[in-house]
């Protein structure tokens, strides 16, 4: 299903370190998100499903997480692709992989995510639709809520 990249849930300390390292690189370094906002209590909750993708040479190429169902939705978030891997279909795989692992863990439920406004079209192509409402700032970056039905 995910040919070019080896995907797996973060079940080892090494996987979790790789996951956190990539999120720090993308959100804290590239997007200037305060590190105190990027990492939160959900990162240390046993119910959170963190996952990571590696290249054939072992390079960390993408990371994401899914939060346990709340309000009837599985929440995908902290979706990060390493700069040198962008534009190669990795983002699509990242979202689809998160959906796959989340369904295995929690069943067939709708998904929700908070999309940076520049990425709305990307998520729409993956079947997500905007929730009515205005853009809002999250860590100083404009976002919109989106959902995807099972």
Q: Give the pLDDT confidence of 116-148 residue by residue, as tens digits.
A: 999 999 999 999 999 999 999 999 999 999 999
Q: What is the mean pLDDT of the chain?
A: 95
Sign of the dihedral through C-alpha 73, 129, 28, 35: negative
Percent pLDDT > 90 in the chain is 95
What is the pTM for the complete model shown? 0.93
CA dist 93 and 12 (Å) reads: 21
CA dist 55 and 52 (Å) reads: 10
Q: Give the pLDDT confidence of 37-63 residue by residue, as tens digits.
A: 999 999 999 999 999 999 999 999 999
Residue 115 has pLDDT above 50, yes or no: yes
């Amino acid at each position: 299903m995910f040919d070019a990249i080896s995907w797996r849930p973060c079940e080892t300390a090494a996987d979790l370190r790789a996951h956190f390292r990539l999120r720090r690189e993308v959100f804290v370094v590239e997007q200037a998100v305060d590190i105190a906002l990027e990492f939160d209590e959900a990162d240390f909750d046993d119910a959170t499903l963190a996952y990571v993708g590696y290249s054939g040479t072992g390079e960390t190429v993408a990371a994401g997480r899914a939060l346990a169902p709340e309000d009837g939705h599985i929440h995908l978030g902290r979706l990060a692709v390493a700069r040198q891997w962008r534009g190669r279909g990795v983002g699509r795989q990242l979202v689809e992989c998160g959906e796959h692992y989340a369904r295995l863990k929690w069943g067939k439920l709708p998904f929700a995510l908070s999309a940076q406004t520049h990425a709305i079209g990307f998520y729409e192509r993956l079947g997500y639709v905007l929730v009515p409402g205005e853009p809002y700032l999250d860590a100083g970056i404009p976002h919109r809520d989106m959902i995807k039905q099972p």
